[in-house]
Chain A
Amino acid sequence: MSTIAVGKSVPRFDAREKVTGEAVYIADIQFPGTLHVKVVRSTIPHGIIKSIHTEEAEKAEGVYGIITGEKADFLVGICIHDQPPLARRKVRYVGEPVVAVVAETEKAAIKAARLVRIEYEELPHVLNPLDAIKEGAPLIHEDLGSYFHLPTFNPKPGTNIFHHYHVEKGNIEEGFRKADVIIERNYSFPHIAHAQIEPHGAIARWSKGNELHIYSSTQAPFIVRSVLSRVFNLPSTSVRVTVPYLGGGFGGKSDLTIEPLTAYVARFFPGKWVKFILTREEMYFGSLIGRGCYSTLKMGFKKDGRLIAAKASMHFAGGAYGDYAINIVTGAGHNSTGPYEIENVYVDSYGIYTNTPLVGAYRGYGHPEAHWQTERHMDIAARELGIDPVALRLKNILKPGSENNLGQIIKESNGNLEASIKIAVNEIGLGKEKRETEEIARDHNVRIIKNTSKGLDRRAIPVITKKEEERFAVGRAIAPLMKSPVMATNAGSSAIIKANKDGTFNLLVSSIDMGQGSITALSQIAAETLGIPVEKVRHYRAADTEVTPYEWQTVASSTTWKAGSAVRKAALSVLDKFKETASKVFDVSPSELEVRDGKVWYGNESIDFKELAKGYVFPDGHAIGGPVIGTGAVVPHGLTYPDKKTGRGELAAEWTFGCQAAEVLVDRKTGRIRVRKFVTVLDIGKAINPLMAKGQVEGAVVQGMGAALNETLVYGEDGRVRNASLTDYKIPTPEDAPEELVTIFLETPQPDGPFGARPLAEHGIVSVAPAIANAVRDAIGIDLYDLPLNQDRLLEAIYQREKGKGGDK
């Protein structure tokens, strides 16, 4: 198919603003007379607030007021309403906002905040979810039973379990009875931070007429609007949410974060803009964090390698409030046993309150946790079975016609996992013979797009100076992946396209471009549908609930696929209106008309879009039609609620399949793992913009490498995050980018995606950790089950092994 906009690597439209410093982010918005908020946070993990002393702070210079949670008579939440905007009566984690100081300047707020004193009566606390479900564990929410929750969630009042999701397929006991080899292991994925370089912020103003306008760095303006209008008892029209440029989201700015607090505080200062920007430190406990999963996986195989039974139990440390983690529990449950067809499955996924910061969406949404256990497990199983790990996987993968754990049947159009695996294996050099990747793609009849990027030349770094054979070991391995989005069954998207009289178009959607490139990709989809060059489409830069049309939220990698479908429909509706008018001009039926090159054609006569945009004017002056606006809307196809008993149903709207592979260099002396080469193969249906698609994958891979090798929130015994800085919480640096970063896209079109596209933005992170850990196993023969694979873990494991061998070191 020849295209004019889609499939082209056009540079992103917002790049010029961003490279010149013009792009406006939340902290850059400066309204005259703005008041600034500084929050005083709980210093204990669990306890009763005995008293709050604000007298001194109130007297401090520049202070406008000190706000506590006392007057907040509502609980925030979407799926389960369990959180006050500022602590009330109780605190549940170190870092929980207790008091907000509002002052003329940020400096004054900081100084005054230091004068606030809070007295607590400490309660016993619990940080680990496995401890939190033990008999006698401290109860974090006594009122769990009285919280409102949506019917699909399953809290257990009287315990710390805020959600339990269960999936059952076949008969698990029989499965294990029939198995020849049974393997069971425990795995863990710690809490990590999104570490977006832009800290969260919000600026709110209550007008004196009781309307709220809030600017926020959110991925979810309509969720924010809906919750704020609920808790303040206002019609949707009285709450306006505007989102400027977003400096990175990765899920951490989805749902709600600091908006309820900012809006609640601002309410006490009507007519004033009230600004709350988190510090870097607060980013580790004052917003959302990610992951935190402790799991046990048991699998039963036949001797020939057939996987016939899998039992997974996953325990998520959701933090002190559960609303944002609740769907991750379900999402991980959906695909907890990876991209395999298994006859007998039994999954328990628990969301558990812990006295830690709140967990929310983080790129991958339950899938990195699920693949960490499953893809490590498959490698371990292959060795025990004496089967090649690639062969074992190929034997069990989901193929067209397979039934997944949820009871859905995989179709050819869902993507080609087998080809993905074979290509990844070839690229990383694990194949029997090295072949051309294009050749493998031809065997499987798929189109591919390949790119190789280069990191820094490692010779430039004088760290490794010796080539000692026994010191360095190279290992290679793969880890396949699949991901489906978790979304409300009515997670809608909509789009508006306005035609201008010069043949250009304005596109309005409420998807947030937080770096993933939706502004550009959606413009490309609109242009392609309209049949015009992409430069003629102008995507509105902000999302604004009062201006731009409804979007559920920008999560689940769903924008190109779902919002893109809405954009395509909107463009088609523009064309319909053009044709409608043109049909009257030509006096024929619209179906006899064609659209091409910015014109509507009847045979070889044509009318330019320009002449139709505002309505057509006949030579005698009389006009028909009128200004053209197209709209489009979609909801995911046929999603249902899960069956109460089996947890099954039409729960995934689509899947993206793929495979990742790593080549690592392990330094036995320092315990350092360096990723030399990393390969990601994803069947994305259609690369709307290959340059940006590649950028998503490369970014996800390096982010995943950080979690695999280094990242973990370190808690003190008191639950304080001890490494709340970019110095102590180390994310990958330019020097850490792999020498070779290979990205390969397969294009098996997705029938309901615009031009065949399907989601891709999270997927590059899903199997990074197991691919690396499997490669480490290949290199030095050590199996690791807990992330991150940092020096402490490696050195300790190497030491224990040497000791076991009888040497004293």
Chain B
Amino acid sequence: MSVEIKINVNNRDYRLIVDEEDTLLYVLRERLHLTGTKEGCGNGECGACAVLVDGEPVRSCIILAAEMNGKNIVTVEGLSKVEKDGTVKLSPIQESFIEEGAIQCGFCTPGFVVASSALLEKTKDPTDEEIEEYLSGHLCRCTGYATILKAVRKAAEKTR
């Protein structure tokens, strides 16, 4: 069966008829064509599908779209800002990921970037314990994590 939902994604309102079984991830990717959010497992195990719902990071693969009625959602596509002249300004997190070599294949990157953004929303001076709290459960098979940790620390410095 279908159900109608109203959601705001990256500052745009949508009214959608979705299948009751569809996940938020599916709707973002297949209906709104926001394919930046990735499916690595579909089981909540990897973090590639992380998005912000009302400011909090969650895993969109294990949430029904139907549950999202009335929610504000931010995906990786919504983290950078489009200036008036059409240029795109990356967030400090995005910049540091590039500079520190925290990206290899890039498949885990959207999830890490979304989670790190939530962290820096919460604190400008995260301790290792807080970095752990936010990045834990995100899997990257390429980098060995050290560059990612460095990028997050550096982005925090930039924001301060």
Contacts and interface: CB of A to CB of B under 8 A. Distances in A.
Interface stretch (A7-15, A142-150, A318-326): A7-15
A734 B98 contact: no
A628 interface: no
Q: Of B19, B97, B148, which is in contact with the most chain A CB atoms at under 10 Å from its CB?
A: B97
A197 to B, nearest CB: 4
A28 to B, nearest CB: 4
B14 interface: no
Nearest to A17: B106
B6 interface: no
A737 B143 CA distance: 10
A725 B90 CA distance: 34
A280 B141 contact: no
Contact of B101 (A107, A691, A702, A741): A691
Contact of A280 (B45, B135, B149): B45
Given A20-B94, A107-B21, A456 B131 contact: yes
B54 interface: no
B149 to A, nearest CB: 7
Interface in B42-92: 42-43, 45-46, 48, 75-77, 79-80, 88, 90
A725 B45 contact: yes
Given A19-B113, A515-B142, A734-B145, A25 B129 contact: no
Interface stretch (A246-254, A630-638, A750-758): A246-254
Contacts of A726: 40-41, 43, 45-46, 139
A453 B144 CA distance: 10
B8 interface: no
Contacts of A194: 141
Contact of B77 (A18, A21, A279): A21
Contacts of A22: 36, 77
B146 A280 contact: no
A21 B35 contact: yes
A1 interface: no
A12 B103 contact: yes
A741 B35 contact: no
B149 A734 contact: yes
Contacts of A703: 141, 144
A18 B109 CA distance: 7
Q: Of B35, B140, B141, which is in contact with the most chain A CB atoms at under 10 Å from its CB?
A: B141
Contact of B139 (A18, A694, A695, A733): A733
B105 A514 contact: yes
Interface in B107-131: 107-110, 113, 127-129, 131
B28 to A, nearest CB: 10
Interface in A686-744: 691-692, 694-695, 698-703, 725-727, 731-737, 741
B24 to A, nearest CB: 15
Nearest to B127: A460
Contacts of B39: 27, 199
A198 B132 contact: no
Contacts of A24: 35
Contacts of B21: 107
Q: Of B30, B46, B106, which is in contact with the most chain A CB atoms at under 10 Å from its CB?
A: B106
A699 B144 contact: yes
A280 B42 contact: yes
B103 A19 contact: yes
Given A197-B139, A734-B135, A11 B99 contact: yes
What bracket does the count of chain B residues touching chain A fall in? 35 or more
Q: Of A249, A460, A515, A691, which is in contact with the most chain B CB atoms at under 10 Å from its CB?
A: A515
Q: Of A9, A692, A699, A702, which is in contact with the most chain B CB atoms at under 10 Å from its CB?
A: A699
A280 B131 contact: no
Contacts of A107: 19, 21
A725 B43 contact: yes
Main secondary structure, interface of A, reads: loop
Interface in B134-159: 135-150
B97 A19 contact: yes
B104 interface: yes
Contacts of A25: 35, 38, 107
Contact of A197 (B19, B46, B88): B46
A247 B94 contact: no
Given A197-B140, A250-B141, A734-B135, A453 B146 contact: yes
B110 A21 contact: yes
Contacts of B140: 197, 734
A741 B144 contact: yes
A9 B101 CA distance: 9
Given A733-B137, A734-B135, A455 B46 contact: no
A457 interface: yes
Contacts of A396: none
Nearest to B137: A733
Nearest to A460: B129
Contacts of B132: 456, 460-461, 734-735
Nearest to B30: A30
A736 B149 CA distance: 12
B12 interface: no
Contacts of B37: 21
A736 B37 CA distance: 25
Given A12-B101, A22-B36, A727-B45, 10 more contacts: A15-B97, A15-B106, A19-B113, A21-B35, A21-B75, A454-B146, A454-B149, A457-B129, A698-B147, A726-B139
29 contacts: A12-B101, A15-B98, A18-B109, A19-B76, A25-B35, A197-B107, A197-B139, A198-B40, A198-B105, A247-B105, A248-B105, A248-B107, A280-B42, A456-B132, A461-B132, A516-B104, A517-B104, A695-B147, A698-B146, A698-B147, A699-B104, A702-B143, A703-B141, A727-B43, A727-B45, A731-B139, A734-B149, A735-B132, A737-B145
